[in-house]
Amino acid sequence: MPRPVIASRLHRGRRAVTRAPWGLVCMGILVMGLLAGCAPQDESIPQSPEVPGVSPGEILLGSSLALQGHASFLGTQTLSGAMCYLQHVNAQGGVHGRRIRVIANDDSYDPPVCLANTQRLIIDDQVFALFCYVGTPTTVRILPLIDEARIPLLGMFTGANALREPFHRYLINVRASYYQETRAAVHHLVNDLGLRKIAVFYQYDAYGFDGLTGTELALRELELSPVAAGSYNRGTLDVQEGLARIRASGAEAVVMIGTYDPCARFIRLARVAGYRPVFYLVSFVGADELARRLECCPDMSVIMSQVVPPPEEHEASELLEGPIGYLTLLERYYPEDLPSFVGLEGYINARVLVEGLQRAGPGLTREGFVDAIESMGNFALGQDLTITFSPTDHQGMDRVYFTRLVDGRFAMIRDWSVIRRQLPAAR
């Protein structure tokens, strides 16, 4: 089964090299060309040569995300989750006769590279819209370009408040925010687990600051404040100083706003030091990669919030196992990939994208696409999972799920009292 056609570029400064082997890239381009050539041309489709990225047979999208480096799992899984659905749509003839192509540029979670990638996508590649960006510092960096180009950006793998307030017409968030995640988590830690001494460990950048602020606001609601805070620089594993400060505070729980490698190192070092608080992590950390790095720590209490249901949950079976479900299409187009929370989020982004393109009609424009997204009220993706946008609300989902690391995977928490009974009496 051929893999989805993605024009993928890995950038080193101003140089661009192909990511996939040349034979695979050329085969993919050839397949897309044959598909486009065989597709019947509907002369009734309005042609809009003045709309960037829109041609009679194609809609061109651009993405900048980490495909290499310390956050590469987040980027590759987001992309494969989205592309398994887009490949299905293309196999059915596309949207109003146009197939969807994605140019995916690697930024290795580096804001300046993301900025350069996005400039290239908008100016040189003339993409219709931006899609599936990963990370707060990278995405926040390109906001001036979005303003200037008036180009839609849909489906960011970040819950940053800066992408939600103030309201921005061209930013289309699908997932819940970090403020929502941290607020719900703090209330569970305090009210359900009886923990009041809470510290924060965060990445020292826009992402970490956002999570830190969200945690402080949530604690303030309960007349509390962090007992300690520690940080590390993005792209490093320098967590020892932050660990020492937090351990010295006697924190009973640690809210962690980072990526999977440094957070896992923090927890492993804490275990070696005999320090065993409850660790809570936001969804961006990446549950599957974190679990793999904590196989040596089955005795540590690790909780993570998610913005999509666990891939194995029966309540979302239509979303996952139906004929166009995430698990079904992932197995068809990416059989070597394991299902993941990150991939499922990418898949949901693609579902929202295609629904917006369908509603926008054959005479596709950027403004018409945004209007179409805003018309989506209670768009059902599966049992108990709906998406709602409006002209004043560009965040489609608000629900936060909680999972706990058990037997090497993150499973849904259904009874917080069970966790509380398992905690040591004195921490």
**393 in a structural domain:** no
CATH number at residue 261: 3.40.50.2300
Confidence of residue 249 (pLDDT cuts 50, 70, 90): very high
Cα distances from 189 to residues 186, 310, 329, 419, in angstroms, run 5, 21, 37, 10
Who wins on pLDDT, 28 or 269?
269
Please check whether residue 394 lies inside any domain of the structure: no
pLDDT at 379: 93
Regarding whether 260 and 159 lie in a shared domain, the answer is: no
Same domain as 93, residue 140: yes
In a shared domain, residues 252 and 324: no
Strand, helix or coil for residue 80: helix
Same domain (yes/no): 230, 264: yes
- Confirm if 376 and 389 have CB atoms less than 8 A apart: yes
Instruction: Inform me whether the pLDDT recorded for 138 exceeds 80.
Output: yes
For residues 143 and 15, membership in a common domain is answered with yes
* Together in a domain, 135 and 185: no
Residue 28, pLDDT score: 37
Structural domain count, the chain:
2
Q: Do residues 275 and 285 both lie within one domain?
A: yes
Instruction: Spell out a b/e string for 112-121, using b for 16 or more CB atoms within 10 Å of the CB, else e.
Output: ebbbbbbebb
Residue 112 lies in a domain: yes
Same domain, 116 and 57: yes
Query: For residues 128-151, b (16+ Cβ closer than 10 Å) or e, as one string?
Result: bbbbbbbbbbbbbbbeebbeebeb
pLDDT tens, residue by residue, 354-395: 999 999 999 999 999 999 999 999 899 877 789 999 999 999
The reply to whether 365 falls in a domain is yes
392 located within any domain = no
| Predicted confidence (pLDDT) per residue in 74-124, tens digit | 999 999 999 999 999 999 999 999 999 999 999 999 999 999 999 999 999
- Per-residue pLDDT for 55 more than 70? yes
Average pLDDT score over residue span 9-13: 40
Residue 367 · residue 343 · CB < 8 Å: no
pLDDT confidence band for 280 (50 / 70 / 90): very high
Pick from 77, 144, 135: nearest CA to 111: 135
Residue 1 lies in a domain: no
Residue 26 falls within a domain, yes or no?
yes
For position 356, what pLDDT does the model report? 98
Is residue 149 located within the same domain as residue 205? no
Contact 373, 154 (CB under 8 A): yes
Preceding omega of 323 cis (within 30 degrees of 0): no
Closest CA to 327 of 148, 313, 128, 399: 313
Do 172 and 293 fall within a single domain? no
* Domain that includes residue 189, residue range: 178-306+401-422
In a domain, 396, yes or no: no
pLDDT at 304: 97
Q: What is the tens place of the pLDDT at every residue in 330-350?
A: 999 999 999 999 999 999 999
- pLDDT for res 24: 33
pLDDT band per the 50, 70, 90 thresholds, residue 11: very low
CB contact at 8 A, 118 and 62: yes
Q: What does pTM read for this prediction?
A: 0.86
The answer to whether the beta carbons of residues 223 and 98 sit under 8 Å apart is no
Same domain, 276 and 329: no
Task: Judge if 199 and 327 occupy the same domain.
Answer: no
